[in-house]
Structure 1
């Protein structure tokens, strides 16, 4: 854990970081994994209207490929409402919707756009005297998959009791430590469900894959930052470690938060 060493942050918690080893890691999905996902989830989607486009969404994960990453530390939890209140109080940054509606302090902040998330990370780094930023897609997926390269942060089978997605029926956010049994193999919590999480990466096809233009690119343009992890308002298919999403403007997709990386 890191403690404030500059002006002092009255945050609900210390900055709890998990060490992720560097090296060559695999991200994305093979064609067999893409087809298996489509077969498993096609008839389980929370909205049947998603079915025609679902295959294209999953094909964004193809192909599985190797990337080299440096060792880094990632937040064990997403940034909470209380964390963000400290930031807003210090900087005068606008208050996001989760805080406006009175979501509890230990729940993840949401209603945050990419620039808000980046501003928080830079502020936190300055406050604590460290280099703080948002995770790349590869870093996020590596932390979610764990050393065993799991399909979901908590294993290779979906379990609605281990994450906060629509299948669990909670219908709102939960405390960031509410699902300890949902931790990734590295011990990172809340990477499946609760709120979607910003990464620093723009959507691009993986090497050897095709660019997928879909409802997201139609709504926000071809260049957008990727989101990972799904939310309480979305289905378990988005809780998969490899699943790539984007900032769709529809109301059910507004539950966007983030976690930080120190490297």
Structure 2
């Protein structure tokens, strides 16, 4: 069953919003976020936190933020809530998350507030002061998932672990930017949070637990193809209830939240459950599982015109899928050393980083890269025979129609604004398939992550879609490889087939 509502007479909240900047772009919606959340927290029908127990900080300094958080943590005997909205920055050396201040710049990390400092104050207020029994941290900023996992840049970099004994809810994964849709009153994440709290959730318990809120937020943002949240709960923090469920109370309907959650427990990079509690899965649509056998590319029927329907790969072919091709004895000539030695179908960059038929560790669900036109076609012929569906590379025209997805005008700007594209201005590094939401045709990574090898009207290879290192202005370009044997670390391919 749901837990009890956090006692508003013994709880505190600090709502932090930085909406105007001297060096970064302003985010006007952040001011609306903070104002409406303050109203909801104080509403007795929602929570009932009186004015003295809810501190609002706008355009605040590092010192003011840390002092307010420390005072709230020490002054709350039940629950302390810390909410931040604004720009999130990543230290280029340590990979740590920083919360932007009004005068922050995108380069020097010393101009912003380290999340680790805020976390430390929550855990250990100075002077031996008491600390709140339960804690909730809500971050609405770019790269906010770093507060859960850190940005792992190598074996010697430790992750920034979440606050112990608390619920940490973030607007995005560690690799994603948050979204403030033009013309909307609130940012994408906080806007959905406000909507759920204002209206309640039919069929959910009253009050609403943090776990239930996370599941509803994930469903709502998925439906809008917007960046997806993440959540980490330590001990029983998922049962913390900050808000009454207006819809649940009206229906007098309770849901047993101790039953198996709709969102599965997440594992760490080592494959073990995160210590001390459940961590929700990363905000992404996992790699495709469909097809005759698990691990084969999943094909999506796409009506390109009234008379033309083709099948396209939902995602680019992954390392794991290409590995299966190399492990088949009949494909021995495509093993890295053999193919490079022959020199007829690939260049010396072919499958850089592979060891025989084994891809680099941890890259199984990333798009395979550094493959040539000939290697891609060999994989498709092999996979098509085993799937019973003749496969080929998409034509450039098919790619363009699928990327447009029936839209008119500057459709690509919609994909950029919705956070669907991994390009130089978003994450800037190769990510697993499905890390970024699909387009309206439910096809992922058509723009960004890796260039797709396609064919032109003459059957010659061309590249479409841009990659993780491509500027936004060049994502729609069509490039020709220097030769059919060229292998580049930002070029992959996807399947196509006729209906």
Superposed displacement of residue 239, structure 1: 2.4
* Equivalent residue, structure 1, for 2:442: 187
Matched, 1:237 2:492: no
Asked if structure 2 preserves the Cα contact closer than 8 Å seen for 1:247 and 1:253, the reply is: no
The equivalent residue for 1:196 is 451
Q: TM-score, normalised by structure 1?
A: 0.62
Cα gap change, 1:252 to 1:200, in 2 (>3 Å) = closer
Q: Which residue of 1 aligns with 2:388?
A: 129
Q: Is 1:3–2:292 an aligned residue pair? A: yes
Cα RMSD of the aligned pairs, angstroms, is 2.8
Contact 1:152 1:239 in 2 (8 A): no
Give distance in 2, aligned partners of 1:87 and 1:194.
Answer: 22
Q: Is the 8 A contact 1:198 1:256 kept in 2?
A: yes
Match of 1:20 among 295, 302, 307: 302
Contact 2:462 2:478 in 1 (8 A): yes
Offset of residue 161 of structure 1: 3.7
Structure ranking higher on relative contact order (CA contacts 8 Å, 6+ apart): 1
Cα distance in 2 for partners of 1:202, 1:22 equals 17
Q: 1:202–1:225: 8 Å Cα contact kept in structure 2? A: no
Which residue pairs with 2:462 in the alignment?
A: 226
TM-superposed deviation, 1:151: 3.9
Segments of 5+ residues of structure 2 without an aligned counterpart are 1-289, 337-350
1:256 aligns with 2:486: no
Preserved CA contact (<8 Å) 1:132 1:260: yes
Partner SS for 1:135:
coil
- Aligned pairs for 1:60-79 (under 5 A) are 70-79=308-317
Residue 88 (structure 1) shift: 1.0
CA 1:118–1:247 in structure 2 vs 1: closer, same or farther (change >3 Å)? same
Give me the whole-angstrom Cα distance separating, in 2, the residues matched to 1:261 and 1:89.
23
Structure 1 position 172 matched with structure 2 position 410 = no
Equivalenced residues, count: 186
Superposition pairs of residues 33-44 of structure 1, within 5 angstroms: none
- The SS at the match of 2:456 is strand
Per-residue deviation, 1:150: 6.1
Task: Provide Cα deviations, 1:180-220, integer angstroms capped at 9, x if missing partner.
Answer: 1xx222110011111111002267xxxxxxxxxxxxxxxxx
Alignment of 1:31-180 (within 5 A): 70-90=308-328, 91-92=331-332, 93-95=334-336, 96-97=351-352, 99=354, 102=360, 104-149=363-408, 151-152=410-411, 155-156=413-414, 158-159=416-417, 161-168=419-426, 170-180=427-437
Q: Is the 8 A contact 2:371 2:487 kept in 1?
A: no
Is the 2:370–2:488 contact (alpha carbons within 8 Å) kept by the matching residues of 1? no
Distance in 2 (alpha carbons) for counterparts of 1:150 and 1:81: 35
Q: Distance in 1 between matches of 2:465 and 2:296?
A: 23
Shift of 1:99: 3.8
Q: Deviation digits for residues 144-163 of structure 1, max 9, x if unmatched?
A: 1102246455x546349431
**Rg comparison, structure with higher value:** 2
Distance 1:252 1:237 in 2: 24
Q: Which runs of 5 or more structure 1 residues have no equivalent in the other structure?
A: 5-10, 25-68, 204-222
Query: 2:415–2:439: 8 Å Cα contact kept in structure 1?
Result: no
For residues 194 and 239 of structure 1, the distance between their equivalents in structure 2, rounded to whole angstroms, comes to 10
- Give me the whole-angstrom Cα distance separating, in 1, the residues matched to 2:449 and 2:424: 9
